[in-house]
Amino acid sequence: MNNDHDGEHGGSNNKGGVRDTDPSTSHDAAEPIDTQRLEAVVLIAHMKIGEQGLTWDECAALTRIDKASVSPRFKPLMRKGLLKIKHDENGKPVKRGTGRRPQLVRVTTELTAKAIEMRGVSPVVPVVNSESNDVMGGHP
């Protein structure tokens, strides 16, 4: 069982995070999802925030993208080495949030900018509105 609650769907076939065992209607609904664009927007949001890091909820609020679309982007970005879980001075994962299950905080890695350039993570460059601190997907 995955205890870090990172939004990753096990057995993903890379079609919007849908599991191979999900019904065909889920596969149909996931087909038009542009996962590369969503990953790029999530990554740019993390880059803008810096070492403070972001939880799913914070990233969803900042990007104005539904949490159900944002949270599945975290694990693939971590697998690619572009995000990592933030740890405190004692080596414990940093969590924020209220309620029974505070969320893990992720931050960009030291090599994020280079990795973006080398791996071509983003065919669409998200537009960052510096006046309002919003990160919105847009074309260059």
Q: pLDDT value at position 26?
A: 74
pLDDT at 136 exceeding the cut of 80: no
Q: Identify the structural domains of the chain with CATH numbers, from first to last.
A: 36-125 (1.10.10.10)
For the residues 104-123, what does the mean pLDDT come to? Answer: 66
129: which strand partners? Answer: 134
Q: How far apart are CA 6 and CA 74, in angstroms?
A: 6
For the residues 134-140, what does the mean pLDDT come to? Answer: 45
135 sits in which H/E element:
strand 134-136
> Is the overall model pTM greater than 0.75, yes or no?
no
How many residues would you count in the chain? 140
40-58: pLDDT as tens digits: 899 889 988 888 999 999 9
74 sits in which H/E element:
helix 74-79
Q: How far apart are CA 46 and CA 28, in angstroms?
A: 30
- Please provide residue 106's backbone torsions phi and psi, each rounded to the nearest 5 degrees: -115, 150
* Residues 57/103, Cβ–Cβ less than 8 Å: yes
Buried b / exposed e over 90-127, threshold 16 CB at 10 Å, is eeeebbeeeeeeebbbbbbbeebeebbeeeebbeeebe
Instruction: Name the band, by pLDDT with cuts 50, 70 and 90, for residue 116.
Output: low
Instruction: Name the band, by pLDDT with cuts 50, 70 and 90, for residue 60.
Output: very high
DSSP secondary structure of 80-98: TTSEEE-B-TTSPBPEE-S
